[in-house]
Homo-oligomer: A and B are copies of this chain.
Amino acid sequence: MMVLVTYDVNTVSVTGQKRLRHVAKLCENYGQRVQNSVFECLVDPNQWVQLKNGLVKLIDEEKDSLRFYLLGANWKRRVEHIGTRPGYDPEGSLIV
């Protein structure tokens, strides 16, 4: 299923900047960055649990915001893109 991950990490402090890097790095392991703080992750149920638990451990819940949008299996019809970084197929190769 497709899970959209969006985050705001508070980067005022050096530890915040570190959290931001770690959050992005973890998301990269599971999906495709489509905007600066937005990843589309095509995951199976086990991967979804791992991704979610991993992110929850990384963020500071008092300072950062993490949102997940479960787009399901028929996610393609739910997504529209305009502008730079054109459409790609997470199930295939990245079109740059």
Contacts and interface: CB of A to CB of B under 8 A. Distances in A.
Nearest to A6: B38
Given A6-B6, A83-B59, A84-B61, A67 B34 contact: yes
Nearest to A10: B84
Number of copies: 2
Q: Size band of the A side of the interface?
A: 35 or more
A64 B83 contact: yes
Interface in A63-89: 63-72, 77-85
A95 to B, nearest CB: 14
A73 to B, nearest CB: 13
Interface of A: 4, 6-8, 10, 34-38, 52, 55-56, 59-72, 77-85
